[in-house]
Structure 1
């Protein structure tokens, strides 16, 4: 069984990359299982991945490189016994240290387990802003990697890609650096070829470090019950857009240069949407997913932002959902919430 760790900061494209790799590996005859780690009690990415038919386990309310180590160990053993995958793809939270995750799995001393080179994704569209806001933390994620992927290059001017590559190579000269786009497919074959290699053991692994505290990221996750028996795509799209823009505006008021991830899923028998923004100046990204016939009408919201007070995020989430609901006649009630104070 091969373990593939796809790390990277919040909003760098981990879920989309994991889905694409899982599909391509499956088409080549591999049995793929996926572990998704969310920082709050409310899982969002797992909802998305499960709809693509993968054997998926979502670990929430912590980080698998620190507070959820035991949960990760149990999950891997359970997957091996029940499903016997040839590949386990791991998507850590965006405020995890990838090398620490590898070290914790290696501690389990499981037979017939090998590691692909550790991958860290770097969002090229906000690299400068991310390094300004989370310099030391992002540097650690970069130096943990054996493969560095500059993502979203289809949204960048071509001349900026080699500049960012040169910057990250200065921080980690031994890593393989490449450009990657899930839109055009650029770099996919190269990445799969790299994952066929084996990870190199390192002596500088620091275990038992609190990556969440080191990140400087405040997070809050909340789930809402939607009281709307019917919901068309146009209304739903406007509604989630209003939620995202309201959150973005309020967080910008606290930190005009924030980076992070504001993301949500809206689940409804009529329409299912996935939406996000990743920085203060980002435009909302919204996509439709296949609606599940048994979906209870609900919405999950995660706010993760740099250098803002944790205490403000719950109020921001509630206000955004309430005001968007008033604008579009959609009533909601609270279901569950969880946050991290940093």
Structure 2
């Protein structure tokens, strides 16, 4: 039986919420079970190695006055800026799955060991997919540091169902939350969706974040499709060209299935150009196999797309876990 009431969020109808489910205006509808079965039937899934260790492992300082960013893995970043330590989509579990014994298994350890994390002041969650919202990591962080948890509408209910004492601060697209020390998190649209199970599709909101800081503007995208590129042009119009952008470059094949929700490396380069960004870091590749492409295909395709666009390779770096960017 279809749900008639949203279990996570009850709020007014808007241009991206119909009273039951969230949606991205003008974007394609959901893929169906028939589509999923076609994907599986057609094959084409490349074989990943069971281990793909990164050559990097970071032990970050306790505090940074400037700006220091480390990829922990997939979409998990440690952002150290203006004396604050911020985590995006922290996933430390072995699998991006509701089950500990099946589902996508990581092929490299986190680029920062959990015990090597500095004290965390805030955690920014983009959406509720298991490769972005790891409730075990949320619990560990809460017990250790009592950080602030920031998430788009509806995701607070998911976290509180497991950890009732955590007060999650939520926002709609266009909202802002001050984090302190001159840093503000802004909730911005992305072309994606949400679900933790088979009956809660699009019942919690998803987002990207813009961080305005004393060290410049940072743009973190957990997951998005490119679509017409309007979301990237909007960032530039509202905030100016970012100093730094985290742009996903993996989990994009087959295109007929993945294009609405995941950018290809070529599309990530187009996003880079629309943003007018000074520096981009590529993530969402090489840790969990979610789709068909080979494990090293995303950085190779990114390099080719940058060359074709006449953009120096160092301006858009595909990071490995534990790799650091400072600026």
TM-score by length of 2: 0.34
TM-score of the superposed pair, with normalisation by structure 1: 0.33
